Amino acid sequence: MRNILVTGSHRSGSTWTGMVLASGGEVLYIQEPFNVLHKKRYETPVEYWFEYIDDEDSPARQAAFKRYLHRFTDFDFSRLKEDLNITKNITKYPRTIYGAFRKNRVPRKLIKDPLALFSAEWLAAHFDMDVVVLVRHPAAFAESIQARDMRHDFSHFLEQETLMQKHLAPFRADIEDFIQNPTRQADILEHATLLWNIIHHQILYYKEKYPNWIFVRHEDLSREPFETFGKLFDDLNLNFNEKAKKYLQDSTQSNENSRLKRQSAANIFKWKKNLTPQQQQFIYDKTQHISKHFYTP
């Protein structure tokens, strides 16, 4: 059975989607190996947010990434020892040990990582993966970014010259202008719309190149969770069992408003309440040349 990559836009329910798919017990859930913050815990070749790697990289660089990713997918005694040294709270040792041994007990792996979006082709080829790509409405994405004041360092794109040449050349001037323009940098919606465009430009490239990949809108998962997830489970050859259905029910019909529990249908249009008409128009004007491929006006 093939492994699974859940990627796409961040703030698009990728964690929720990955957890639902893993809740039936058939796959091992792996959280964001491409997150640069892992360098605080152990050695990682990941240097940038949205790191790019492909088959034209040096064999040494590709080998380094494969070794690093096997930390998350395969059991190794030396890694377990290292993880126990990192785990400062001794009460968490049993969980760390269980998680390490479970890597071999569950042969099928699910990597949830929107930060791996630009490396999805390489991951799919080298780790035998089915790919699920999540899309989110630009206004919903922008509202979420604004609510958390999540500002992105766009130099992480410019410093990856191969990524810029192969995929993001149309954005070079816009990124350079943004970095040099304090007024744009101060505006969180400028951050959000530029990042949305870059991410969904890449998603559109994949959509046209890989018709066998699975592309899902966050709104469809939220509006019709059982129907949409049921199809997703079927497409990935996973059993939509009672355990998974219970997890999905709890995460979509809860009065609790947390990261993984909420009234999912009510969450779809939160942006209409939290963004002014002027802000909504700004987002539309900035993104419609790409958003028209995913959403109606």
Enclosing H/E stretch for 138: helix 138-148
pTM for the whole thing?
0.88
Evaluate whether residue 222 is within a structural domain.
yes
- pLDDT tens digits along 35-92: 999 887 778 999 999 999 999 999 999 999 999 998 887 655 565 556 656 776 667 6
Evaluate whether residue 100 is within a structural domain.
no
DSSP letter at 263 equals: B
**What's 243's domain CATH number?**
3.40.50.300
Evaluate whether residue 224 is within a structural domain.
yes
- pLDDT mean over 217-226: 94
Q: What string of DSSP letters covers 141-194?
A: HHHHHHHHT----THHHHT-HHHHHHT-GGGHHHHHHHHH-HHHHH-HHHHHHH
Q: What local confidence, expressed as pLDDT, does residue 84 receive?
A: 58
DSSP letter at 25 equals: S
- pLDDT tens digits along 136-182: 999 999 999 999 999 999 999 999 999 999 999 999 999 999 999 99
Q: What local confidence, expressed as pLDDT, does residue 39 receive?
A: 81
Taking a C-beta distance cutoff of 8 angstroms, is the pair 267, 222 a contact? yes
**Cα-Cα end-to-end distance for the chain:** 40
Evaluate whether residue 85 is within a structural domain.
no
Per-residue pLDDT band for 265 (boundaries 50, 70, 90) equals low
Evaluate whether residue 62 is within a structural domain.
no
Q: How many domains does the chain have?
A: 1
User: Helix, strand or coil for residue 51?
Assistant: coil
- pLDDT tens digits along 174-220: 999 999 999 999 999 999 999 999 999 999 999 999 999 999 999 99
- Domain membership of residue 144 as a residue range: 3-57+110-291
Evaluate whether residue 233 is within a structural domain.
yes
Per-residue pLDDT band for 251 (boundaries 50, 70, 90) equals confident
Evaluate whether residue 81 is within a structural domain.
no
pLDDT over threshold 80, residue 101 = no
Evaluate whether residue 251 is within a structural domain.
yes
